[in-house]
Structure 1
Amino acid sequence: MTQYFNEYASLCFERFGDRVKHWITFSNPWAHAKVWHTYNKQWRSKQRGMVGISLTSDWGEPVDMNSQKDIEAAERYMQFYLGWFANTLYNGDYPEVMKDYVGRKSAQQGLAVSRLPTFSSQEKSYIKGTCDFLGLGHFTTRYITKRNYPATQGPTYFTDRDLLELVDPSWPDPESKWLYSVPWGFRRLLNFVKTQYGNPIVYVTENGVSEKMQCPQLCDEWRIKYLKGYTNEMLKDPLASHMEMVTEIVVPTVCTLCILLSAVLLMFLLRKQS
């Protein structure tokens, strides 16, 4: 399938690349690096576009910030969720904690090799860095704690993580029961991406909320509140704070100085004429 998808993507580059400058190979993936290399080799110099990917991730917050086990469980949650693909694209391999836990669970099953595939050194080199920007989908947050009892299910992606997901009953909940409004989690996710993957270009490709209630007419107060909360958290980025300072302090100061200098110059000219 990788080759078929690469041929399809190459056709898209050929037909639309003179107009389309931002390409997302997948919204929640599986087969990306080959297409990036095709664009980089055949089309980038002509079309000067960018190829990225869109990954969706919740934020995982430790239940107890004083508990090392909860902190480690939250880190596993993020590495299994976002790091599964993001770490591979930016660092060339699956997260170490993911390799460790899946390998350990596989051994407990009596398997000779891990259920998580292993990349060769050539594959790691081929995959690493194949992301001009990161598309990021985000909707909600979970509190995370370590699971203190054996899993009742067989080995799966979810049981490999060895953790529990919890929600705060005070979080506003919409019609979709998995989607709670937790704006502060969005900012923490953005900071995680910045520190984990070298401050990449990020486009928010997915965010939104379902209807909280059914109305005979338009009633979007719930959606407005959700989007406003998440947008405000995104605007708390240090760059936004810097721009706010420029707008609110530097610009008025410069304008004031210009007015004063103009007044002094005008007085000087009037005195000279008199």
Structure 2
Amino acid sequence: MISYFRDYADLCFEAFGDRVKHWVTFSDPRAHAQAWHSYNSTWRGKQQGLVGISLNCDWGEPVDISSPKDIEAAERYLQFCLGWFANPIYAGDYPQVMKDRIGKKSAEQGLDMSRLPVFSLQEKSYIKGTSDFLGLGHYTTRYITERNYPSRQGPSYQNDRDLVELVDPNWPDLGSKWLYSVPWGFRRLLHFAQTQYGNPPIYVTENGASQKLHCTQLCDEWRIQYLKGYINEMLKEPLLSHMQMVTEIVVPTVCTLCVLISAVLLLLLLRGQS
């Protein structure tokens, strides 16, 4: 299927590339790398476009921010969600916590090898760096804690994570059982992606609220509030980049200038005294 998708992507690049300059290979990850390489080697020079992928992830907040186990569980939640597909693209391999956890679970189940596939060195090199931007889908947040009881499930994605997802009953309910309005989680996810993957360009490709009530007239105030809250949190995130720039570039530069100016003034003072 990977080669078939590459052929389909090439057809799209050829037919629409003179007008389309931003391509998202998948909203659900599959044969991404070959499509990126095909565009990079054949079409980028003449079309000057960008190719990325869209990955969906909710934010995972530790139930107890002072508990190392809850903090680890929340990190695991994010790595099993966003890191599962983003890490190979940005770092060349699955997150270490996935390899460790699934390898251990596989051994406990009597398997000779991990249920998580292993990338060859050639595959790691081929996949790493295949993204001009990160498309990020996000809707809601969960509180995460370590699971301290045995799972009744057999081998599964849920069982491999060993964590429990909780919601705050005070979060606004938007109708769908899984969807709660938690705008601050969006900002934290954006910051996580920014710092985890080397500050890539990020496009928000999915966000919104489902229908809450059936009505014949305009009655979507809850959706207005949802979008307003999430957009405001998204607008706050670039401030972190500017603050980081101030911390890493401006502050050291100013300090250096202050030292140089002080040295010059000291030399002038010494010359004046002599």
TM interval, shorter chain, is: 0.7 to 0.9
Q: CA shift at 1:172, angstroms? A: 0.5
Aligned-residue offset at 1:238: 3.7
> In 2, distance between residues paired with 1:94 and 1:68?
23
Q: 1: distance between equivalents of 2:167 and 2:32?
A: 33
Structure 1 CA distance for aligned equivalents of residues 76 and 241 of structure 2:
31
After superposition, residues 110-259 of structure 1 pair within 5 angstroms as 110-239=110-239
Q: Partners of 1:241 and 1:116 in 2: how far apart?
A: 35
SS in 1 for 2:38: helix
Which moved further from structure 2: 197-206 or 214-223? Answer: 214-223
**Number of residue-to-residue matches in the alignment:** 243
Paired position in structure 1 for 2:23: 23
- Distance in 2 separating the partners of 1:128 and 1:75: 22
CA offset digits 1:213-255 (Å, max 9, x no partner): 2222111100000000000000112448969xxxxxxxxxxxx
CA displacement at 1:29 relative to structure 2: 1.0
Q: Does the C-alpha gap of structure 1 residues 100 and 24 become closer, same or farther in structure 2, counting only changes over 3 Å? A: same
One-letter amino acid of the structure 2 residue matched with residue 155 of structure 1: P
User: Is the 1:211–1:222 Cα contact (8 Å) retained in structure 2?
Assistant: no
Q: Which SS does the other structure have where 1:165 is aligned?
A: strand
Letter aligned with residue 193 of structure 1: A
Q: For 1:144 and 1:241, how far apart are their aligned partners in 2?
A: 27
| 1:249 matched residue in structure 2 | none
Aligned to 1:70: 70
Which runs of 5 or more residues in structure 2 are unaligned? 244-274
The 1:106–1:240 alpha-carbon spacing in structure 2 relative to 1, beyond 3 Å, is closer
User: What is residue 90 of structure 2 aligned with on the other side?
Assistant: 90
String of CA shifts for 1:137-180, please: whole Å, max 9, x gaps.
00000000000000011110111000000000000111101001
Q: Determine the C-alpha separation between the residues in 1 that align with 2:153 and 2:173.
A: 28
Deviation at 1:28, TM superposition (A): 1.5
TM-score w.r.t. length of structure 2: 0.87
In 2, Cα distance between equivalents of 1:12 and 1:2 = 15
Q: Judging changes above 3 Å, is the alpha-carbon distance between structure 1 residues 158 and 241 closer, same or farther for their aligned structure 2 residues?
A: closer
**Secondary structure of the corresponding residue to residue 216 of structure 1:** coil
After the TM superposition, list the runs of 4 or more consecutive aligned residues in structure 1 that deviate by more than 4 angstroms: 240-243
Does residue 61 in structure 1 map to residue 42 in structure 2? no
TM-score, normalization by structure 1: 0.87
Secondary structure of 1:204's aligned partner = strand
Could you tell me which runs of 5 or more consecutive residues in structure 1 were left unpaired when the two chains were aligned. 244-274
Kindly report the root-mean-square deviation, in angstroms, between the aligned alpha carbons of the 2 structures: 1.3
Give the SS at the match of 1:135: strand
Q: Distance in 2 between matches of 1:235 and 1:10?
A: 35
CA distance in structure 2 between the partners assigned to 1:142 and 1:51 by the alignment = 30
CA distance in 2 between counterparts of 1:192 and 1:83 reads 11
